[in-house]
Amino acid sequence: MKKPNLKDRKFGADEVDICIVGAGAAGGVLAHDLAKTGLSVVLIEAGPFWDPQNDFASDELAMSTLGWEDTVLVTGATPLTMGQNNTGRGVGGGTVHFTGVFLRFHESDFKVKTRDGVADDWPISYSDLAPYYDRLEKEIAVSGPKHFPWGQFHGPYPYPEREPTSTNAMLFRQGCEKLGVKSTVTPLAIISAPFDGRPPCINRGFCNQGCMPNSKFSTLIQHIPKAIGYGAEVLSDCMVTQIEVDDRSGRVTGVVFVHDGVEYRQKSKVVILANFVVQMPRLLLASTTAKYPQGLANSSGLVGKGIMPHSSQDVYARFDQEVRLYKGTPVLASTLDFYETDKQRGFVRGYTIHAHGSRPVAMARGIANSAKLWGLGLRQMMLDFNYYARATLVGEVLPDLANTVTLADEQDEYGLPRPIVTFSYGQNDQKLIDHGVAKMKEILSAAGGKPEYVTQDTAHLMGGCRMGNDPETSVTDQWGRTHDHENLYLAGAPLFVTGGGTNPTATVMALAARTADHLIAEAKRGMLGQLTR
């Protein structure tokens, strides 16, 4: 691990142009784009600066440290599993442990209110993000099919699709084929051929434990090293505990952060929070002043409201022949045939299904927990580990203002209130899950398997600081600028108005790149962090 040198900070007491909190998918892209244009950038990250070849291991248990393990309190009818399930910690953030699935949202995702009469529309549309999806897919050499059957982008992807795939992916596609369901090799941010000094994937299979050969993209190995090359400073192992604001002007002045028990400050013309769905509302809500007793950026009262995971049930089906779920990249085949609203199904919105590999800990833990299988039953089931195939749902969950991040009385080691994450599924969500689970069972049955276990799970997090045009019903504008503070920006998944029915990383990065372009344009006209002269 690289250690930050706090004694000799690059910018020290100087005010920088840009201070970014959180070095994940969004923060990495922002640091890269803004440093490249010549702005002075400091990127502050709570976790370590990983060295993949020495800090990572091919081991599920040892690599749980890639998740945000600091305790989050959870409640609601269906309390969320946190940590590595949805939140990264360390430089690269969630991109270090994500499966590499790199799919765009569809046009319909930005117009849910208009099309389906529920939730809200985004203040932007697909066409606003399309150029950024284009750019990012090339920038990280997404490897995918020549033709992609769904949504607005039909390929070809910059790099060829992954080949060979895996037994699990091939069985899944055979099942789809028998049912007349379209399927494809999944577009992945995992390279199929050499790119930018990185070797192609070796099918090691531990994408969720951190890629060791550097074949999977992460901002840890892609955007952040380049950002440093352009002059950005990365302060890892530094926990931001407060955003400082001038009560008279409403402008933020910088952040307070702690390293090894010592408090430091970074002054900045613009502060961008890119610290994800739980820590972002927590930091805003905890940064109170006399003028802002409800926390920063919170005149709407919506900071921390409307968080959304994806429903992510798994179906395990037993086959007569070996499948060997551990072999190779976990996600290599997908269908988005059930993505768009179909009124006949009795619910709105839709989902993606992936063929999804697994390793022993995830499989045993998931089935033990959901099926309450233990003792002899669990041990005998796991003796057939190699005979199971698995499919996984990524289902849209509608935003509900009752699903929240709030502050607890209990404090953490920094004296900050711990976050409470409240989550319950709604009726539409539950109907969607039932449909998706039935469909996964059909597909694996058609492939010759016998569905035996369904595990209850969620993936990803979005929302909680949603973007919009009306300051009364949203936290930021369409660029991520908070309605309440002209030089405080928010970036990444918390801005999502709705969650879409597929993996969010491509959209998180596209949104961040769009905010970066906006800031670059503002800087060019001398208006960085200023609405009026």
Partner 1 sequence: MAEQSHYPHYDVMDEAEAWDDHTRDVVRKRLAPNGNFSFLTSQEAKTLAKIVATLTDDERSEIISYILSYIDQRLQSKIGESERKVGIPKEADLIRNGLALIDTVAKSSAGQEFASLTLQERQTILGNLERQQLPVPWPDKGFPQKELFNKLLRLAVESYYSHPLVWSEIGHGGPAYPRGYVRTEPGLLDPWEAKAEE
Segment 77 to 136, residues that bind partner 1, using CB under 8 A: 79-85
Out of 118, 179, 212, 371, which residue is the one contacting partner 1 (CB under 8 A)? 212
CB of 359 to partner 1, least distance (A): 7
CB of 208 to partner 1, least distance (A): 14
CB of 430 to partner 1, least distance (A): 21
Half-sphere exposure in the Cβ direction for 469 (13 Å, CA): 6
Segment 188 to 207, residues that bind partner 1, using CB under 8 A: 201-206
Out of 12, 194, 231, 377, which residue is the one contacting partner 1 (CB under 8 A)? 377
Helix (H/G/I), strand (E/B), else coil: 331: strand
Q: What angle in degrees, to the nearest 10, is found between the helix axes of 167-179 and 427-446? A: 100
CB of 203 to partner 1, least distance (A): 4
**What's the farthest any 2 CA atoms get from each other in the chain?**
72
Decide if 52 contacts 212 (C-beta within 8 A).
Answer: yes
Q: How many CB atoms lie within 10 A of CB 380?
A: 10
Segment 151 to 180, residues that bind partner 1, using CB under 8 A: 164-167, 170-171
Measured between alpha carbons, how far is residue 109 from residues 118, 319, 327, 476 in Å? 12, 36, 33, 19
Report DSSP state, residue 454: E
Question: Which residues pair with residue 143 across a beta bridge?
Answer: 159, 188
Segment 414 to 433, residues that bind partner 1, using CB under 8 A: 420-421
Number of residues that bind partner 1 (CB under 8 A): 73
Cα 64 to its chain centre, rounded Å, is: 17
Q: Which stretch binds partner 1 (CB under 8 A): 141-149, 153-161, 287-295, 365-373?
A: 365-373
Q: Does 364 bind partner 1 (CB under 8 A)?
A: yes
CB of 224 to partner 1, least distance (A): 22
Q: Does 59 bind partner 1 (CB under 8 A)?
A: yes
Q: How many CB atoms lie within 10 A of CB 186?
A: 31
Q: Which is nearer to partner 1, 166 or 268 (CB)?
A: 166
CB of 278 to partner 1, least distance (A): 10
Segment 300 to 329, residues that bind partner 1, using CB under 8 A: 321-322, 324, 326-328
Q: Does 461 bind partner 1 (CB under 8 A)?
A: no
Q: Does 72 bind partner 1 (CB under 8 A)?
A: yes
Helix (H/G/I), strand (E/B), else coil: 63: helix
CB of 396 to partner 1, least distance (A): 23
The rounded distance, in Å, linking the Cα atoms of 55 and 78 is 34
Helix (H/G/I), strand (E/B), else coil: 169: helix
Q: Does 293 bind partner 1 (CB under 8 A)?
A: no
- Strand pairing class (388-395; 331-335): unpaired
What sign does the CA torsion over 481, 484, 485, 489 have? Answer: negative
CB of 409 to partner 1, least distance (A): 11
Segment 469 to 528, residues that bind partner 1, using CB under 8 A: none
